[in-house]
Amino acid sequence: MSKNIFFERKGPFSIKNLFNNKNLKDLKITDVKTLDKAGSSEITFFDSVKYKDIAETTKAGCCITTKKLENYLPQNCLKILTKSVLFELAVITRKFYPNADIDYPDKSLKKPKKSNFNKVKFGNNVLIGKNVKLGKNTIIGSNTIIEQNVSIGANCVIGSSVIIKNSIIGDKVVIQDGCKVGLKGFGFIPLKEKNLRFPHIGKVILKDNVELGAACTIDRGSVDDTIIGQNTFLDNQVHMAHNVKLGKNCMIAGQVGFAGSSTLGDNVSIGGQAGISGHLRIGNNVKIGGGSGVVKDIEDNTVVMGYPAVPLKEFLKKGNSNE
Amino acid sequence: MSKNIFFERKGPFSIKNLFNNKNLKDLKITDVKTLDKAGSSEITFFDSVKYKDIAETTKAGCCITTKKLENYLPQNCLKILTKSVLFELAVITRKFYPNADIDYPDKSLKKPKKSNFNKVKFGNNVLIGKNVKLGKNTIIGSNTIIEQNVSIGANCVIGSSVIIKNSIIGDKVVIQDGCKVGLKGFGFIPLKEKNLRFPHIGKVILKDNVELGAACTIDRGSVDDTIIGQNTFLDNQVHMAHNVKLGKNCMIAGQVGFAGSSTLGDNVSIGGQAGISGHLRIGNNVKIGGGSGVVKDIEDNTVVMGYPAVPLKEFLKKGNSNE
Amino acid sequence: MSKNIFFERKGPFSIKNLFNNKNLKDLKITDVKTLDKAGSSEITFFDSVKYKDIAETTKAGCCITTKKLENYLPQNCLKILTKSVLFELAVITRKFYPNADIDYPDKSLKKPKKSNFNKVKFGNNVLIGKNVKLGKNTIIGSNTIIEQNVSIGANCVIGSSVIIKNSIIGDKVVIQDGCKVGLKGFGFIPLKEKNLRFPHIGKVILKDNVELGAACTIDRGSVDDTIIGQNTFLDNQVHMAHNVKLGKNCMIAGQVGFAGSSTLGDNVSIGGQAGISGHLRIGNNVKIGGGSGVVKDIEDNTVVMGYPAVPLKEFLKKGNSNE
């Protein structure tokens, strides 16, 4: 049973109490996880047929889902049926994690004690939370804030006025000035007068050699994590929403936007200002032209362009040759 | 006669002196207001037939307008005719407000005295201007700047490295890290060698339960205010220009841009990277697809998509089904 | 032989040693410059037929180029032939400038001594590097960082939380809150596991009366400079990549993005969220509609619109009248 190092977790709760239903079996639930990561004492959710392959092999003890989808789940997984999976999930996740719905500023921030961070160089006015780990030869620029429990590897260069929270960062990572990494994403159940915020209990993982340009915003995962693969470089003002997974050796130009929960392969290049919709699968070696709007899955080795993005040949056929 | 709490106002001025014209009647003018808000001792402006309904019932004592538009105004309103309404308006507004053309940094900023802000929690290095009001249980993150006369309600969570000026903020508002709220907008009269900046004497009003994602820029109004309605949530990197009015319960995804002076209804949802042109009226319950470019008014209950944005059916008819 | 005031330069190196080739003539090279600026003891590069006119008259002593392009260069210029000009250039430039590939935070930052900056007004927590020059009556907002050797003219207003490095800034320049100016651009040779970063040895030049809106990112040049002409105004969240040159009296609306190395004339206006591809020439008096994607050169006095951008008449002919 892994621990969430960034958010205090309540529980365990019996499934009867969680759903306030005495007819449910007496199962003790310790955490909320994704379909692929949940174990027998954990609850998960399944809300789209897109994820049926993972659903079929989940080891989760309990799953919030719909009447239509329940049959994809293993027999021994307790199904909680509802019409609004995400609403139920939000309610349950808030019981386990009552403080992950808003980014409450870290009260443990202090000037770093040099003695705690051997071989780390700090600019002026740096603020560090409790239990932060910084690898050797890492440099932290002025006015930068690194909140509690964040871990940053060796030989990293973190710029000035950067804010990092709820993140695990590898070696030789470069983060340019003004980036915000690990913040709560844009997830909530829209309700008149008072939206219900979805707790963001995931984190951001930046692998070795990642580079983030200036003023990027990389939101942490909601239940899952947001991950950027090794040696992937982002230009300035890129926005990456919760749960996005980006492979190795990718090149993402300025002002690109990623909606939530898309997964991209390795060696993907994306031109400036392109937008990637949510919940998509983009293959390896895909090239996406600048300004494109990607709204469906893309297979490996494809070049796409346009709004909505289509394979390049099709884009040119539509009279967009611009000659 | 309401007071502008954010900008020092000169005057009153006689209309003769303002326009340096002895033939004008001897009217004393105390302030510059919009058509709907100006009173009998105030001056307003009317530069587009779009606003004729408001012009017809204005109570303004004086109005800068054109030969073509003057007949829409009430008889007892003194008309100042010009070919360039905005140029004249800029010149006059600068006489009343000589310090609103540039955001001069607030010289009154200081570390907050805890005794002045009972039940408010501050991070490190917070800077607060004079006469700032902060409601109870509000939290202000580290390195955040709140300039003079700003008022923030109770139970708000303001992140780190946020800058707020010239704003009135309700209760339970969440502003994520790195937002800039209440800055001067992009308004000027283009002149060779030396543009003439339009004073921005308006403010930003954020109603209760508003949420701003990280790194948003919300400009204050020029003569009018910029307003975001109750329970409206914005994602990261949204840009909202001066005078935009956004209704209640709206959802604005990442990197959306609003040009100046558009008015949007309630329950509007806008997909990522969409752009809304200036001076538009968008109705209630409108859905705007990601990446769309909205260039004309949209009626209630409409779904639009595309660049330029058209009703969804039309967009699909154009061969954009992407199948 | 001009000095690079922002980056420490090694050398001179003999051309034999630089390329590890004993057969090359015994030429001493002191610096890396662009085709138009390199002198007889400097090395340059030539990688696109677009630049043949400048190549023909270069005074460079040595030039990295391809077999296909070498004949455009003057006879007395020593040609170094390669298949990957930019890779060779990166390797050579890194020998001259080993510390310009990453923005290492400035270790010389300190609170400004008032006595060194007569008639300059500082907000709180301002940090200034060594040899910074600030003109009289200039105002610097709180939490702003100005790194070593930057020069800012008189009567400027620099906002709060601004970061400026490697820049030469004129008089009466306004930079709004949260801008990042002079950072390393998005330039590297993509290599599996470990991209090779291109050193950015250029600077940013902002001429008199320039205005930058909030949260803009203006990258410095790689070998060349990034330049914004007199009286040009940018709105919020504009991204300008390395080596872009923007003329006088231009108006750039919010969230516009410029890819690298494009040159734009005077009196250009660009609507919100438009994107300008790299290595283009945009003439004088050009108007680019909001949301457009410009992918080829534009002649003087042209109005363009669309994605890809085409002359306005053509855009409307395509059925985009939106009526």
Q: Phi first, then psi: give them for residue B78, nearest 5 degrees.
A: -70, 120
| C217, C314: one domain | yes
pLDDT at A317: 85
| Half-sphere CA count of C222, side-chain side, radius 13 A | 22
| Residue B218's pLDDT band (cuts 50, 70, 90) | very high
**Cβ contacts of residue A128 below 8 Å, gap of 6+?**
A109, A110, A111, A112, A117, A134, A146
- Check which CATH number belongs to the domain holding B24 and give it: 3.40.1390.10
**A213 close contact with B: CB closer than 8 A:** no
Per the domain annotation, does C29 fall within a domain? yes
How far is the CA of C111 from the CAs of A91, B189, C130, in angstroms?
Answer: 49, 37, 11
pLDDT tens, position by position, B187-206: 999 999 999 999 999 999 99
DSSP state of A254: T
pLDDT at A157: 98
Helix (H, G, I), strand (E, B) or coil at C65: strand
Chain B neighbors (3+ CB pairs < 8 Å): A, C
**A-contacting residues in B 274-303 (Cβ below 8 Å):** 290-291
pLDDT tens, position by position, A123-178: 999 999 999 999 999 999 999 999 999 999 999 999 999 999 999 999 999 999 99
| Residue C323's pLDDT band (cuts 50, 70, 90) | very low
Q: Are A255 and B291 in contact (CB under 8 A)?
A: no
| C171, C85: one domain | no
Instruction: Read off the tokens for C147.
Output: 């790194």
| A212, A297: one domain | yes
Per the domain annotation, does C128 fall within a domain? no
Per the domain annotation, does C130 fall within a domain? no
| B311, B201: one domain | yes
Mind telling me how many Å the CA of A99 is from chain B's nearest CA? 13
| Residue B1's pLDDT band (cuts 50, 70, 90) | very low
| Half-sphere CA count of A194, side-chain side, radius 13 A | 2
Q: Chain C partners of A255 at a C-beta cutoff of 8 Å?
A: 239, 255, 257, 275
| B178, B75: one domain | no
Instruction: Read off the tokens for A28.
Output: 């003790």
| Nearest Cα to Cα of residue B186 among C241, C306, C272, C142 | C272
**A272 close contact with C: CB closer than 8 A:** yes
For residue A322, pLDDT beyond 60: no
For residue A204, pLDDT beyond 60: yes
Supply the ipTM of this predicted assembly: 0.97
Contact at CB, B102 and C174, closer than 8 angstroms: yes
DSSP state of B106: P
How far is the CA of B201 from the CAs of B4, B167, C226, in angstroms?
Answer: 8, 11, 33
**B273 close contact with A: CB closer than 8 A:** yes
Q: Chain A partners of C146 at a C-beta cutoff of 8 Å?
A: none
| A35, A176: one domain | no
Per cent of chain B over pLDDT 90 is 94
pLDDT tens, position by position, A256-289: 999 999 999 999 999 999 999 999 999 999 999 9
C176: how many CB neighbours lie within 10 A of its CB?
29
Helix (H, G, I), strand (E, B) or coil at A223: coil
| B170, B78: one domain | no
Catalytic residue among A200, A239, A242, A279: A242
| Residue B321's pLDDT band (cuts 50, 70, 90) | low
| Residue C2's pLDDT band (cuts 50, 70, 90) | low
Residues of C known to be catalytic: 242
Per the domain annotation, does C157 fall within a domain? no
Per the domain annotation, does C234 fall within a domain? yes
Domain count of chain C?
2
Per the domain annotation, does A258 fall within a domain? yes
Domain span at residue A310?
166-321
Contact at CB, A178 and C163, closer than 8 angstroms: yes
* Active-site residue flag, B239: no
Contact at CB, A308 and B322, closer than 8 angstroms: yes
| B181, B74: one domain | no
**A140 close contact with C: CB closer than 8 A:** yes
pLDDT at B221: 98
**Domain C-terminal end among A44, A72, A96:** A96
- Check which CATH number belongs to the domain holding B206 and give it: 2.160.10.10
Q: Where are the beta strands (DSSP E) in B129-197?
A: 133-134, 139-140, 145-146, 151-152, 157-158, 163-164, 167-169, 174-175, 180-183, 188-189, 196-197
Report the mean per-residue pLDDT for chain C: 96
**A105 close contact with B: CB closer than 8 A:** yes
**C159 close contact with B: CB closer than 8 A:** yes
pLDDT at B25: 87
Contact at CB, C104 and A272, closer than 8 angstroms: no
| B45, B189: one domain | no
**Domain C-terminal end among B96, B112, B135:** B96
Report the mean per-residue pLDDT for chain B: 96
Starting at the edge strand found earlier in the chain, the sheet holding C139-140 runs C121-122, C139-140, C157-158, C174-175, C211-212, C233-234, C251-252, C269-270, C287-288, C303-305, C310-311
- This model's pTM is above 0.95: yes
Minimal Cβ distance to B190: which of C125, C178, C251: C251
Q: Chain B partners of A125 at a C-beta cutoff of 8 Å?
A: 125, 143
Q: Chain C partners of B277 at a C-beta cutoff of 8 Å?
A: 272, 290
pLDDT tens, position by position, B116-152: 998 999 999 999 999 999 999 999 999 999 999 999 9
**B232 close contact with A: CB closer than 8 A:** no
What's the mean pLDDT in A100-117? 96
| C77, C176: one domain | no
| A195, A70: one domain | no
Q: Phi first, then psi: give them for residue B18, nearest 5 degrees.
A: -55, -45
**B254 close contact with A: CB closer than 8 A:** yes
Mind telling me how many Å the CA of B231 is from chain A's nearest CA? 6
Contact at CB, B142 and A105, closer than 8 angstroms: yes
Per the domain annotation, does A127 fall within a domain? no
**Domain C-terminal end among A66, A96, A126:** A96
| Residue A318's pLDDT band (cuts 50, 70, 90) | confident
Q: Chain B partners of C290 at a C-beta cutoff of 8 Å?
A: 259, 275, 277, 293, 295
What's the mean pLDDT in B38-62? 97
For residue C251, pLDDT beyond 50: yes
Chain C residue with minimum CA distance to B143: C143
Per the domain annotation, does C104 fall within a domain? no
Instruction: Read off the tokens for C159.
Output: 């906002």
- Whether a cis peptide bond, with omega within 30° of 0, leads into C105 is no
> How far apart, in whole angstroms, are the C-alpha atoms of residue C106 and residue A287?
36
| Residue C1's pLDDT band (cuts 50, 70, 90) | very low
> How far apart, in whole angstroms, are the C-alpha atoms of residue B100 and residue B114?
30
